[in-house]
Chains A and B, each alone.
Chain A
Amino acid sequence: MATIQLKNLCKSFGDVEVIRNVDIEIGDGEFVVFVGPSGCGKSTLLRMIAGLEDITSGTMEIDGAVVNELPPRQRGVAMVFQNYAIFPHMTVRENIGFGLTIAGTPKKEKTRKVQEAAKILQMEHLLERRPSQLSGGQRQRVAIGRAIVRDPAVFLFDEPLSNLDAALRLDMRMELTKLHKQLGATMVYVTHDQVEAMTLADKVVVLRDGTVQQIGAPMELFRKPANLFVAGFIGSPPMNFLDVEISPVDAHTVTVRNEMLLPLKLPNPFGGEHIAAHGKLGVRPQYLRLSKDIAGSFLSGEITIVERLGSETLIDVTIADGSNVIAVIDESEQVAPGETVGLSFEIDRAVLFPAE
């Protein structure tokens, strides 16, 4: 079991700063997901934990010991790569047992452990096959098998599901959750897919251009995004933003308004005196409700698109200033394009950001 601390970590490739002052605490047995758009430095950060990239500055600790200079094999981590990185000339059995072969584990023990891992991953019948005879999902399982057989304290995953098709991805996601419960190891998982982040993580780290934007539990990020970037990145469909004027009421309350929006009183999110005059009010599509009382609704507009997903319906509403708002509504609602509707939301579900 292991904890990991990243303290003020930086990484440059030549002149290019890729990771900037990253501080992350990863608890024992936690499932932490690094999420962010492509190129934001997630993989680099993960590879720094693994020891595959050296650290430009800052410290990395595993279980309280500084590991900056330790080679990968002395860090007690296992890693699953995006392209699987399983050995093409070895059978599944040899691939899974690779770490044990390297460590010189006695044959009997190796056989038993490989068998055990294969059982967890339900691939006992594939042990004598070669990677070329496996499907993408099966190859990914082999890579995971190779990781779990050594019983490492830390698992690192670099976009392990991104080469799989949607259905398989869902399956593997559930299996990874199960695996995490079963093994109780610390897991660090990198993905650009916020759905994976939300479903898998105990704790999500949102990255952008090599800096940490927010760290928190999935629902915390969903409800209380720390900034516009996180608000827009997490959640699907993405959060709606309305440009608003902000005026203070008292130390704890502000009023926000624009031409389309009834004035709303919100708790002051900025704390203290620094109240911006302009801001963006964010409301998740899931928190918007249809209302027949158009005049009494916070917002109103004309429905332009209706997408029925089965369990729910997405509507795209064009409001007075020409911008669009997306709402997720119940599938039983009867709506049609061209209809004018009112939209409301609970005030404490809205989030206010200063304009950038």
Chain B
Amino acid sequence: MRARSRLTQSNLAGWSFALPGLALVAVFIILPFFVGIGLSLTNQRLISPNPAQFVGLENYRNLMGLSVLTIEPERDAAGAIVRDDAGAIEYPRVRTFTRNNPDYPHLQGMREWISWQSRENRVVLLASDVVFMKALVNTIIFVAVIVPVQGGLALVLALLINQRLPAITLFRAIYFMPVVISVVVVSILWRLIYDGDNGLLNNLLGLISFGLIPPIDWLGNPDTALGAIIGVSVWHSVGFHMVIWLAGLQTIPPSLYEAAAIEGASKWQTFRYVTWPGLRNTAVLVLIVITMQAFELFAKVDLMTKGGPLDSTQTIVFQAVERGFRTQDIATGSAISVIGFVLVLSISLTQRYLTRSRHE
């Protein structure tokens, strides 16, 4: 009995220590999570005199709605295809289908996202919310690029750092330094580096190419803006993942390397048969952490491009904040958050399934 009462007492102490933390988690994570799901099913505005109404999945339909429209060329009275002066085929305008066209009620209000040519027809992918679609695609591109690039680069750095060389701790510190710099500072710094006229990057490229590479407005050009943001992101967090890889590397017993050396393994074979298998668990961790972080891309976009130019750097989280707070459409903002959550969850679960350990 005594032992039990001591146990419950110490449990009580434990709970009271955990309580402040749990309360914070509840108020700032668990509660908002469910409130967000709830709001995404209403038409709530951030500040509005009208009571919110339940609208079901309408917010999701408005965000995710997609349709394919095949437009046939304009034909003259003889049935011949009408061409303009340059010989390009002329088509009826998309808005004739999406604006109050009684034959196409399901396309009402949609806008053109992507279009392509199929024989003489023009195929148009319509989206209810083109900006959100761009944000979704940009986020996925961002994740798809940054996971291998940042993870791989971090591994390379970790392998280089994990040697016994003089001044190696200096390099370790240098590579890790960006991690401790605030994202605001990083963004401002890189805005200067990326500057179209007199940025460091342009100067550098001009210098090494003897002026052959013309100055590029890295953040102002839709073709380079997302790449530029990827570059900053890699630079900013590669040191963090390097440290994780390093921790993984140091769990591999040195005698395994010695055994491999005696068996005659080359550097590459040593990596392939000793290092990489030894890093399995670390790799899963790094993969999942980078993926999750990448989906959260917001601050750099907000500070460097505001989603532009031409929506080329829109992201899911940026859109959620933009809609929810700046345009005060908290319901749509919540719906975007929920979509982002489902996306991250399903990708993480897939990754865990694919990288599960098959022999324990």
Contacts and interface: CB of A to CB of B under 8 A. Distances in A.
A87 B273 contact: yes
B258 interface: yes
Contact of A85 (B253, B265, B269): B253
A21 B119 CA distance: 87
Nearest to A152: B262
Contacts of B256: 85, 87
A73 B264 contact: yes
A83 B274 contact: no
A130 B265 contact: no
Contacts of B273: 87, 90, 98, 101-102
A103 B264 contact: yes
A79 B265 CA distance: 14
B2 interface: no
B253 A150 contact: no
Interface residues of A, number: 25
Nearest to A91: B359
B262 A73 contact: yes
A182 to B, nearest CB: 21
B262 A79 contact: yes
Contacts of A102: 260, 263-266, 269, 273
A98 B256 CA distance: 12
Contact of B263 (A51, A130, A146): A146
Interface in B264-299: 264-266, 269, 273-274, 277-278, 280
The residue among B256, B259, B262, B278 with the most chain A CB atoms within 10 A of its own CB is B262
A87 B277 contact: yes
B264 A85 contact: no
A252 B165 CA distance: 61
The residue among B259, B266, B360 with the most chain A CB atoms within 10 A of its own CB is B259
A326 B259 CA distance: 44
B261 interface: yes
Interface residues on B, range: 20 to 34
B96 interface: no
Given A89-B280, A132-B360, A83 B253 contact: yes
A17 B335 CA distance: 71
Given A87-B277, A89-B280, A71 B261 contact: yes
B255 interface: yes
Contact of B262 (A77, A86, A101): A77
Nearest to B263: A99
Nearest to A95: B259
A83 B269 CA distance: 22
Interface string A117-130: 00000000000001
A77 B269 CA distance: 19
Contact of A81 (B258, B277, B280): B258
Contacts of B265: 73, 102
Contact of A52 (B253, B262, B264): B262
B276 to A, nearest CB: 9
Nearest to B278: A89
A188 to B, nearest CB: 13
Nearest to B266: A102
The residue among A52, A78, A130 with the most chain B CB atoms within 10 A of its own CB is A52
A72 interface: yes
The residue among A51, A79, A90 with the most chain B CB atoms within 10 A of its own CB is A79
A244 interface: no
A50 interface: yes
A146 B255 CA distance: 14
A85 B255 contact: yes
B354 to A, nearest CB: 17
A85 B259 contact: yes
Interface string B195-225: 0000000000000000000000000000000
Interface of B: 253, 255-256, 258-266, 269, 273-274, 277-278, 280, 359-360
29 contacts: A50-B258, A50-B262, A52-B258, A72-B262, A72-B264, A73-B262, A73-B263, A73-B264, A73-B265, A78-B262, A79-B259, A79-B262, A81-B255, A81-B259, A86-B259, A87-B273, A90-B273, A98-B260, A98-B263, A99-B264, A102-B260, A102-B263, A102-B264, A102-B266, A102-B269, A102-B273, A103-B264, A132-B360, A146-B263
Given A83-B253, A102-B266, 13 more contacts: A52-B261, A52-B262, A72-B261, A72-B264, A79-B258, A79-B262, A86-B259, A87-B274, A89-B277, A98-B263, A101-B273, A102-B264, A102-B265
What are the 8 closest A-B residue pairs judged by CB atoms, nearest first? Answer: A73-B264, A85-B255, A89-B277, A85-B259, A99-B263, A72-B262, A72-B261, A79-B262
